[in-house]
Amino acid sequence: MKESEEVTKNTRAKVTEKFLADYGNAFDTPDKKAAFLVGVLTQFLLDVQYASRQSTPFRSKLYGLRLDEKRLKRLFPKIIEKFREYRIVYPWLEEAASRYLVKAEEHGWSLSKDEISYYFALGLNLGRVFK
């Protein structure tokens, strides 16, 4: 990775962590952060699809935004694979989402289905803040 790309990656990672810290009461557990960041990644993917195809076919894979832990975990690798198909990588965001997914596993998922859907939808709606 080039030095300028590394600086950009680190800057974006810091912006992401600052956002989560600024809203620390809302994002006080790893599972909330994980669901939110998977939502952000999803919005990035939908934006890529729309820019490329003028449509968002991946939206049909979002279970009507009715998510639970298993569905969220199923979505994550599909999102990463779709980015690779478009030859696009967001390493700072993918790493952050991965880190919080692992932390959520370590601490145990405590969110209800409705809460997972809520935090995921927040990520969808706020995703562009990170661009």
In the chain, % of residues over pLDDT 90: 79
Cβ neighbours around 45 below 10 Å, total: 22
Length of the chain: 131
Lowest mean pLDDT among 10-24, 36-50, 55-69, 116-130: 10-24
pLDDT digits (tens, 9 = 90+) for 61-95: 999 999 999 999 999 999 999 999 999 999 999 99
8: pLDDT strictly greater than 70: no
Task: Summarize the confidence of residues 26-44 as an average pLDDT.
Answer: 97
Mean of all residue pLDDT scores within the chain: 92
Q: Using CA atoms, how far apart are residues 8 and 31, in angstroms rounded to an integer?
A: 26
9: pLDDT strictly greater than 80: no
Q: Regarding predicted confidence, which is higher, 117 or 130?
A: 117
2: pLDDT strictly greater than 60: no
Task: Summarize the confidence of residues 31-60 as an average pLDDT.
Answer: 97
Task: Check: pTM over 0.75? Answer yes or no.
Answer: yes
Q: Using CA atoms, how far apart are residues 58 and 53, in angstroms rounded to an integer?
A: 11
